[in-house]
Amino acid sequence: MGLIVLFWITLTVFVVGSVVNACPPADREALLSLRNALNEPYLGIFNTWAGTDCCTNWYGVSCDPTTNRVADINLRGESEDPIFEKAGRSGYMTGSLSPSLCQLDRLTTLVVADWKAISGNIPACITSLPNLRILDLIGNKISGEIPAGIGSLSRLTVLNLADNQITGSIPSSIVNLCSLMHLDLSNNKISGQIPTDLGKLTMMSRALLNRNQLTGSIPTSIANIYRLADLDLSRNQISGSIPSQLGSMPVLSTLYLDSNHISGGIPETLLKNTGFNILNLSRNSLEGYLQDVFHSKSYFTALDLSYNNLKGSIPKSLSAARYIGHLDLSHNHFCGPIPMGAPFDHLEASSFANNDCLCGSPLRTC
Ligand SMILES: *[C@@H]1O[C@H](CO)[C@@H](O)[C@H](O)[C@H]1NC(C)=O
């Protein structure tokens, strides 16, 4: 009995699949409108967007094999694809993203990345694509704001809008993207504050908001994102102090807070953490003493605390660290003898330059 049912299901899928072998005309129309609003003069990728079956041999388009609805648009301007060879593997495209793409309501992937010159806004109707999992528009000239309703994309795992000219603030609805794993808004013109409840995004492993104009303080709720491995808030105008909870995050390994207006002390939890690989707090207004809390499990490929107002002596426990690749304590108010032993053996004088009264190797003897 089970076998017969399986046979019928297989047959049905086979028959339906072979009858509907071209993409639905409405999907084809939507793709053609998308194409008409874009201009790719060098490679001719859109020359492949011809004929009735958009599911076959249309560059960057793929369809769901059972429904034949358009599922993926994957147009990357930097590619190893042979079609890119004549343009030195780097594409260029102008124009804008037509709202007609929102008619592709089975779309799961929209990648239109690294074309350098696509401008215009992100169509707000994109928030009505319920199956969208990947939205990657990195490396264009897209302006305007992130659609306010972005939070309705409950299946979105990747939101990458980096290296564009996006303005406005981070929409508060973003915290509803319950599947989001990778958020990259870096290098735009985004202003306003980071939503205080960003910590609701507990699936997130990378959050890159660097090189924008963000103000306000670092939301403490971020510490609830227990999968977060990379957090980059550098080169903004963030103020307030560093939440000590950040130092207790289980897998956080890179933390960039450099070039902001962060004040207060460096939480001891941050320095004690054994999972941190890169900690960059350079160019802020951090003050107070550096706690003597390093130990044999401390392992930093880079620890950059330069250009702050830190004072007192360099903690002796730093020499107990298992590894410190790059250490920069320059441009602070440290004083007293530089501890001896690894990692201080391999450091240059520049790591300690411009302090109040440090001495000992590699600086002058005490
Ligand atoms: C830390 O940040 C500063 C300022 O943004 C930058 O100049 C420096 O290269 C960074 N250091 C490391 C080790 O990444």
What are the tens digits of pLDDT across the range 175-197? Answer: 999 999 999 999 999 999 999 99
pLDDT in tens, 36-92: 999 999 899 999 999 999 999 999 999 999 999 999 999 999 988 888 887 677 889
Give yes or no for residue 282 CB within 6 A of ligand 1.
Answer: yes
Residue 25 lies in a domain: yes
How far is the centre of ligand 1, averaged over its atoms, from the C-alpha of 332 (Å)? 15
Q: Minimal CA–CA distance to 224: which of 197, 242, 186, 195?
A: 197
Assign residue 76 the CATH number of its domain. 3.80.10.10
Count CB neighbours of 51 within 10 A.
11
* Mutational test site, ligand 1, from 282, 285, 286, 329, max ligand atoms within 8 Å of CB: 282
pLDDT in tens, 3-12: 444 444 444 4
How far is the centre of ligand 1, averaged over its atoms, from the C-alpha of 154 (Å)? 35
Q: Are 175 and 197 in contact (CB under 8 A)?
A: yes
Give me the domain span that covers residue 92: 21-107
Domains of the chain: total: 1
Residue 218 lies in a domain: no
Beta-bridge mates of residue 309: 287
Q: Which amino acid is at 265?
A: G
Give yes or no for residue 304 CB within 6 A of ligand 1.
Answer: yes
172 secondary structure, DSSP code:
G
Both tokens of residue 353?
Answer: 């330059």
How far is the centre of ligand 1, averaged over its atoms, from the C-alpha of 62 (Å)? 41
* Mutational test site, ligand 1, from 280, 283, 350, max ligand atoms within 8 Å of CB: 280
Residue 112 lies in a domain: no
pLDDT in tens, 267-305: 999 999 999 999 999 999 999 999 999 999 999 999 999
Give yes or no for residue 284 CB within 6 A of ligand 1.
Answer: no
Both tokens of residue 240?
Answer: 């307030």
For the chain, percent of residues with pLDDT exceeding 90 = 87
Residue 98 lies in a domain: yes
Residue 45 lies in a domain: yes
Residue 96 lies in a domain: yes
What separation in angstroms does the CA of 79 have from each of 1, 70, 160, 221, 254? Answer: 50, 22, 18, 38, 28
SS (H, E, C) 143-159: CCECCHHHHHCCCCCEE
Instruction: Indicate if the pLDDT at residue 20 is higher than 80.
Output: no
Give yes or no for residue 302 CB within 6 A of ligand 1.
Answer: yes
Q: What are phi and psi of 10, to 5 degrees?
A: -60, -45
Mean pLDDT of all residues belonging to the chain? 93
Instruction: Indicate if the pLDDT at residue 313 is higher than 80.
Output: yes
pLDDT of residue 21: 58
pLDDT of residue 1: 43
Instruction: Indicate if the pLDDT at residue 15 is higher than 90.
Output: no
**Nearest atom of ligand 1 to the alpha carbon of 259:** 5
Q: What are phi and psi of 126, to 5 degrees?
A: -60, -25
What separation in angstroms does the CA of 125 have from each of 18, 65, 72, 103, 105? Answer: 33, 25, 17, 9, 11
Both tokens of residue 116?
Answer: 């350098």
27 sits in which H/E element: helix 25-36
Residue 60 lies in a domain: yes
Residue 355 lies in a domain: no
Give yes or no for residue 72 CB within 6 A of ligand 1.
Answer: no
